[in-house]
Amino acid sequence: MLGTTILLAIREIRRHLLRSFLTILGIVIGVAAVVTMVTLGNGTTAAVQKSIASLGSNILQIRPGQGFGRGGGGPMPPDFKPEDVQAIKDQIGGVLAVAPQAQSTGTVVHNAANWSTTINGTTADYFVAQQWELSSGRIFTGAEEQAGKTVCVIGNTIVTNLFRGENPVGQRFRVKDLSCEVIGVLVPRGQGGFGNDQDDVVIMPIKAVQRRFTGNRDIRAIMVAVDAGYETSAVQASISQLLRERRKLGDKPDDFNIFDTKQIADTLSGTTQMLTSIVAAVAGISLLVGGIGIMNIMLVSVTERTREIGIRLAIGAVAREVLLQFLVEAVALSCLGGLIGLLLALAATLAIAPAMQIPFLFDVKINLIAFAFSALIGVVFGFFPARRAASLNPIDALRHE
């Protein structure tokens, strides 16, 4: 019985292919839009989490100013001093590593190759805080830090663009006008931190950068790695209080900011997921529109096939069989629309995700939910036309012109 009904439904769909396609167009668009938006949203969330994770886990970033920049309007807040870094090490509990940073940019040259890059002056604690290992060589020693030796650890991008297949460890190259010896190469990390190339960096002892490039002892940023057994919020509050005292702020607002990478990741991920849900909900309205389209076309089909229904009822078909036939047609149409929508969504996400530079994350759950919802729409919006067909009077139906 059910098999025969399904065959009849498929025959009716094939008989009016163009009308069937136009009927399911709303379902196709709705399913494709919902699945595409959710898949891209998941990829964007994963990309954001990866970017934040590249800054390190349980990391506090301390910078002068009241935002990502130095703020606007008033005078520029002062940079930090080496004594501030030492005070955090000595007076704050739960701190694994404190890495001061002084940055510059410039051109690095080796033989006939040159490359513009970031020059990051820091201490050995930087590698501990970032949990960044070396693929070869070593990091600089405490004695090299104190003496401000011109040694450096370089990223994979520098190796690729300057040394071109050579082993850089032990070789010298020019950083601006300074000759520097390569003592280590970092393990590649790739893109991160909102699209920047993490491997495009030259890391030197901070005193070398301060003496040779920045010309002062100021520290532009401090990276603090927090022990996993401590609450980062408590450590952050302690550091904030310490810096306020050292910078003699009194009743003034903070002239520095402390960013917790975990809080930033949670906030950005939550925002991305919320926006994805809103967009998916808006796209889901297309599914309801598609359901209404199915109901309208099925009502037209009932009117067109009134004599056929009358004949079936007259030769012994019962009302539930007629109802089942039209209901199966509606469900078959909506399921077909859902399947086409899933295929379109797969093609769209495979094309768009690389263009947006986000990972393609196939979510089985959202695909199954979208397909099941399209089938449910067929049941809900197909029931009324099917019930109307089943309730026709055989005599009146046979008289219908």
Digit-coded pLDDT (tens) for 359-389: 888 888 888 888 888 888 878 877 777 777 7
Q: Give the count of domains, the chain.
A: 2
Q: Enumerate residues 6+ apart whose C-beta is below 8 A from 236.
A: 60, 258, 260
> For residues 147 and 82, what is the distance between their CA atoms, to the nearest angstrom?
15
Domain membership flag for residue 386 = yes
Give the strand pairing for 113-122 and 201-205.
Answer: parallel
223 strand-pairing partners = 61, 99
What is the reported pTM? 0.61
Domain membership flag for residue 72 = no
Domain membership flag for residue 68 = no
Write down which residue in 254, 280, 311 finishes a domain.
254
Q: Which pLDDT value is given to residue 246?
A: 92
Q: Which pLDDT value is given to residue 71?
A: 47
3-state secondary structure the chain: CHHHHHHHHHHHHHHCHHHHHHHHHHHHHHHHHHHHHHHHHHHHHHHHHHHHHCCCCCEEEEEECCCCCCCCCCCCCCCECHHHHHHHHHHCCCEEEEEEEEEEEEEEEECCEEEEEEEEEECCHHHHHHCCCEEEECCCCHHHHHHCCCEEEECHHHHHHHHCCCCCCCCEEEECCEEEEEEEEECCCCEECCCEECCCEEEEEHHHHHHHHHCCCCECEEEEEECCCCCHHHHHHHHHHHHHHHCCCCCCCCCEEEEEHHHHHHHHHHHHHHHHHHHHHHHHHHHHHHHHHHHHHHHHHHHHCHHHHHHHHHCCCCHHHHHHHHHHHHHHHHHHHHHHHHHHHHHHHHHHHHHHCCCCCCCHHHHHHHHHHHHHHHHHHHHHHHHHHHCCCHHHHHHCC
Kindly state whether residues 357 and 306 are assigned to the same domain: yes
Kindly state whether residues 116 and 240 are assigned to the same domain: yes
pLDDT tens digits for the chain (401 residues)?
A: 556 656 666 676 677 677 777 777 888 888 888 888 888 888 887 777 676 666 666 788 899 986 554 444 557 788 899 999 999 999 999 898 999 999 889 999 998 889 999 999 999 999 988 888 999 999 999 899 999 999 999 999 999 999 988 899 999 999 988 999 999 999 988 765 555 788 899 999 999 999 988 888 889 899 999 888 888 889 999 999 999 999 988 888 888 998 887 776 677 667 777 777 777 777 677 777 777 777 777 777 766 667 776 777 677 666 777 777 777 777 888 888 889 999 999 999 999 988 888 888 888 888 888 888 888 887 887 777 777 777 766 666 566 55
Q: Enumerate residues 6+ apart whose C-beta is below 8 A from 352.
A: 36, 40
Domain membership flag for residue 64 = no
Domain membership flag for residue 314 = yes
Kindly state whether residues 168 and 294 are assigned to the same domain: no
Specify whether the CB–CB gap between 35 and 366 falls below 8 A: yes
Q: Which pLDDT value is given to residue 230?
A: 86
Q: Which pLDDT value is given to residue 309?
A: 66
Nearest C-alpha neighbor of 369 from the set 38, 116, 117, 129: 38
Kindly state whether residues 352 and 291 are assigned to the same domain: yes
Q: How far from chain centre, in Å, is Cα 332?
A: 36
Kindly state whether residues 191 and 335 are assigned to the same domain: no
Q: Which pLDDT value is given to residue 55?
A: 60
Domain membership flag for residue 45 = yes
Kindly state whether residues 156 and 216 are assigned to the same domain: yes
Write down which residue in 207, 226, 254 finishes a domain.
254
Kindly state whether residues 241 and 313 are assigned to the same domain: no
Kindly state whether residues 98 and 175 are assigned to the same domain: yes
Kindly state whether residues 248 and 296 are assigned to the same domain: no
Which residues form the domain of 330?
Answer: 2-51+266-399
Domain membership flag for residue 57 = no
Write down which residue in 225, 254, 283 finishes a domain.
254
Kindly state whether residues 102 and 147 are assigned to the same domain: yes
Kindly state whether residues 246 and 274 are assigned to the same domain: no
Domain membership flag for residue 73 = no
Kindly state whether residues 322 and 204 are assigned to the same domain: no
